Structure 1
Amino acid sequence: MARLTSIFFGLLAALFVSAAPAPNVLENRDLLGEIIDALGIGLVTKINATITLDTLVTNLLFINFEAQNPLIFELTIDQVSSTAGINGTEYAAFNYTFPTPVVVPPLGTANSGSIPNVLLTQGAIASLNIIPLGYLDLLNVNVNVRALTIDGKLGIPLVITGLHQNNVSTTYNLDLTD
């Protein structure tokens, strides 16, 4: 893991150094996402989905996820959009801007907090068959982060697009209260 972190940190540093005149947001044309995917690092370690009675009508549920930071500096997540599914079939999608950004410490993890309005794209009833599997594949993840933040402040904005991750442990919780 230390070697992967060193390689990733080196590639990230090279990306910063080679950037043209300091843009407001470093547009990386999927390069950073491709590097993360190639190294098999994965930014999500676990997903928790909460299904309510309303989910059966609205096809919307709540999720939260554990984000990991394999780097030796702090990352702050400002926004994420994702599609998730099984074997290439999309079952869920969302786009969410965090009201309070998620600060992920160096070499640590942080929980995203509750993310509402995650759409079950196949519908709630058709999605029930994936529950026993206990995992989801992240089919396409785009994330706006800031690297080198200090307690979630400042940092270098990065747009990471096209992330993929297979077999992310997923727990489904039923909340049948009103």
Structure 2
Amino acid sequence: MRRRFVIEAVMVATYGHLLVPSRPVDYVVPYSSIAELYDMRDGSDPVMDNPDDDGHVKMKINELIQFFEDSLNRKKIEKALQVPWRESAPLLLDENIQFTVVNAIDNAQYGERFDPIETELLLTGMKLNIPLLSDQFEFQDKLIDAEVPVQVYDIEDFEFAVEEGISSVDLEI
């Protein structure tokens, strides 16, 4: 069974270990975070502090963009974009990794505390009842402070999340 996680597209390009999971995973990605990849690739601002790392990550971002622009994948994404909150058909990267693109819609419910992409991530996790993967401590702290009913794993705990995770029953105790 595939483990599902809501994640920003750029994190898949940034953290190589996400591309070699020990079990099959489905990365659920709000469309707005795919659109953000173009800004990161084409912008003059570095994605990483180290120039070598920055070049490597920008190369991976470009590969991910090419994957999403593949004609079959693009058709699946375009179909999902026709209706709010529609999920695309699975976009298969390999036998262990698939992506699902969600036409997430930002709303004012959390808009004052979170930026638009953060809001779409947390709303997607809530709506689909799946955990988030994040590398941003501030975002994780804001989720806890705002008592947002969504599970979040730090990117460093990815293997634990894939192998064991914490069930919703465990959270009720």
TM-score (norm 2): 0.26
Which structure has the larger Rg over C-alpha atoms? 1
TM-score (norm 1): 0.26
Q: Which has the higher strand share?
A: 1
